[in-house]
Structures are given as C-alpha cells and as structure tokens.
C-alpha cells in the first residue's frame, strides 16, 4: 500500500515535469520546427521566467530582491512578458544572421544570464538561489495538492497546444512554413520574413519563460544551475527531435517519453554505490546524446514526423 502510494506520487511528479518539458518543446517547436530558428539558449529564457516568477511571488527576505508576494498567476504572466521583451532584444540582434550564428549567439546569451544570476547577488541571492517560492495549491492535502498542480500544468500544455495548432493552420502558420521551406520565394511574395521570424522567436521564448516559472513554483526553489545546458537546453532538443519536429503532438510525446527515460534511468543509477552513481549519471547524458545522433541520421523525422502538404521537397 505504502509502496503503491509512493509510485502514485512518483507518477504524478513524472507527469508534472513531463508537462513542463512539453511546454519547452512546444516553444522550441515554434522556433525550430515551424520557422527553422536554431535556438540553443533555451536555458537562458527558462531561467528568466523562473527568476521573474520567483522574485515576484516570494515573501519578503533580505537575501534577494523580492517580497512582492504576488499571486502566482501574476508571476506567470510577468515571467512571460519579461521573457518576451528580452527575447525581442535578442532577436533584434541575432535573427538576421544565419542559423549557426543564432546558435552561437543564443548559447552565449544562456551563459550571460547565468553570469548575471551568479553575480547580481542583491537580486538573485547569487549561487545560493531563491527559495521559499510558494507553490500553487500547496495548502491542499496530499495528494490533492500534487494532483491540482499537475492539472494546472496539463491544462496549460493543452491550451498552448491548441493555440499553436490554430496558429499553424492560420495564414500566419502557412507563411511560417513557406519561409522555412523557401525563404527567397516567401520574400519575393512580399512577406516580411524578419517580422515573422521575430514573432516566432518571441512567442517560443515566452512559452519557455512560462515553463521556467512553472518549474520555480513547482520545485519551490531555483538557482543558477537551472541554466545548466544539459538538462534544460540539450534535453529539450533531444525531446523535440525524438518526438518529431514541426509536429506539435510529436513535441509533446517526445517530452513525456524522454523525460520518463531520463527520470527512470536516474532511479537506476542512484541505486549504485555513490562513486559509481555520480559517474553513471554521465553515461546517461552520453546515451541521450547518442540517441540524438541516431535520430538525426536514421529517423530525422522523429516518432511522429511532420505532416507535409507536399510529399517531397523540391531539389535545391
């Protein structure tokens, strides 16, 4: 009984984190899948959202900027707004460059945010991070608090999914695909490519910021390690590639599947003796990387490949 209840709670937490990752993959899918923007700064935008929400909702403390004690809904909204603004600034500089440059620039931005979080101790409490973040529904009894939070996450994922699906089917979405497939033609047709790119970039980052806010509220704690490249940026990429980029169902599926694999493998390695456990944790990263390479080479479409209007691409 005890044990099955523990498993029940574990599944809830698995689904909650899976849902948060699904937000990240959906955000990335708008950028990469539909528009072809190679953003490897996910961790940075995730961290902005997390810190904004954390600072706005925590009770007063001398350790960091805060004490606003705002309701979490406002925390979530603010995190999206701030992330969007910063993404807009980043986009202004980087989006007109070729994909490789965007990758370099965004990975740099992730690192810069990490520096700011570490150094601006007055606002972020530096490496020690922000704690005591209120969690929605925490006043409810277990497991209802956990279930309600999960419900909130899942509802958010569904809403984001429906919004993106609607957007993709709209003329806006068709222009996006046209730009990705054949930019010169889209340009020749009088489409403002820069504006569409910017919109996709900002909206995607906004969703990443929201995912960050959810994580902060869920874990009740956030520190600069949240900007860690492996678990935030890299894992999200692998999730999207595995699930199937340019397909929203694939993005969500990839998030849940890969998070389950990632999380379950942690249970296995944590059973090992300490020294071994630390080392095998790296093997997990290696295997995830290998999975990415295999997907790229053998199944570039992912589990649920993109539905394309035309069966084949025209030759270059």
Partner 1 sequence: MIALMEFINFYLIPGVVLGSIYALGAVGITLTFGILRFANFAHGETMTLGVYFTWTLMQITPFHPLVILPASMLLTVIVVLGIDRVFYKPFRASPTIMVVMASFGIMLMVRSIIQFIWGVQLKGLVPGIQRPMLLFDSLRISPKHMVIIASAVVLVLAIHLLLSRTKIGKAMRAMSDSPELARLTGIGTEKIVMTTWVVGASLACAAGVFLAYDTHVETMMGFKLLLPMFAAAILGGVGKPYGAIAGGLIIGLVEELSSYPWIGTEPLLNPGYKAGVAFAIMVLMLLWRPSGLFRGRVF
What's the Cα-to-Cα distance from 303 to each of 31, 95, 117, 255, rounded to whole Å?
A: 19, 29, 37, 12
**Cβ-contact 153, 214 below 8 angstroms:** yes
Residues in 213-242 that interact with partner 1 by CB under 8 A = 229-230, 234, 237, 241
Query: Which member of 131, 260, 265, 280 binds partner 1 (CB under 8 A)?
Result: 280
Q: Report if residue 112 touches partner 1, rule: CB under 8 A.
A: yes
Query: Is position 296 an interface residue for partner 1 (rule: CB under 8 A)?
Result: yes
192 touching partner 1, by CB under 8 A: no
How many angstroms separate the CA atoms of 65 and 195, rounded? 35
Residue 208 interacts with partner 1 (CB under 8 A)? Answer: no
Which range in 56-64, 182-190, 192-200, 289-297 contacts partner 1 by CB under 8 A?
289-297
Q: Which residues inside 52-71 make contact with partner 1, applying CB under 8 A? A: none
Residues 116, 120, 125, CA angle at the centre, nearest 5°? 115
- Rounded CA separation 274/43 (Å): 28
Cβ count within 10 A of residue 25? 35
User: Is the sign of the CA dihedral 115, 116, 121, 124 positive or negative?
Assistant: negative
- Cβ proximity to partner 1, 140 vs 290, nearer residue: 290
Nearest by Cα to 49 from 29, 12, 24: 24
Instruction: Specify the stretch interacting with partner 1 by CB under 8 A; choose among 16-24, 157-165, 262-270, 288-296.
Output: 288-296
Q: Which residues bind partner 1 (CB under 8 A)?
A: 36, 38, 40, 93-94, 97-101, 103-105, 107-109, 111-112, 115, 118-119, 229-230, 234, 237, 241, 278-280, 282-286, 288-290, 292-293, 296-297, 300
């Amino acid at each position: 009984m005890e044990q099955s209840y523990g498993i029940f709670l574990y599944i809830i937490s698995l689904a909650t984190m899976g849902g948060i990752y699904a937000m990240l993959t959906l955000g990335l899918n708008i950028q990469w899948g539909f528009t072809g923007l190679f953003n490897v700064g996910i961790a940075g935008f995730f961290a902005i959202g997390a810190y904004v929400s954390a600072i706005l909702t925590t009770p007063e403390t001398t350790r960091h900027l805060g004490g606003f004690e705002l309701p979490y809904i406002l925390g979530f909204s603010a995190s999206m707004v701030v992330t969007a603004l910063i993404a807009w600034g980043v986009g202004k500089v980087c989006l007109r460059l070729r994909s490789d440059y965007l990758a370099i620039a965004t990975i740099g931005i992730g690192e810069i945010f990490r520096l700011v979080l570490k150094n601006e101790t007055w606002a972020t409490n530096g490496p020690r991070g922000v704690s005591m973040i209120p969690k929605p529904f925490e006043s409810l009894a277990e497991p209802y608090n956990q279930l309600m939070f999960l419900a909130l996450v899942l509802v958010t994922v569904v809403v984001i999914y429906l919004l993106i699906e609607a957007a993709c089917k709209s003329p806006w979405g068709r222009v996006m695909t046209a730009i990705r497939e054949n930019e010169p033609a889209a340009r020749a047709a009088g489409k403002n490519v820069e504006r569409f790119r910017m919109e996709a970039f900002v909206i995607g980052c906004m969703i990443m910021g929201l995912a960050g806010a959810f994580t902060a509220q869920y874990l009740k704690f956030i520190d600069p390690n949240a900007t860690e490249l492996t678990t935030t940026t890299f894992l999200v990429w692998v999730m999207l590639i595995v699930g199937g980029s340019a397909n929203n169902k694939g993005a969500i599926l990839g998030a849940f599947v890969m998070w389950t694999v990632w999380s379950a493998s942690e249970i296995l390695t944590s059973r090992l003796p300490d020294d071994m456990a630390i080392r095998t944790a790296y093997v997990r990263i290696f295997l995830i990387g290998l999975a990415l390479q295999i997907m790229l080479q053998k199944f570039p479409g992912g589990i649920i490949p993109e539905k394309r209007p035309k069966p084949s691409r025209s030759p270059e």
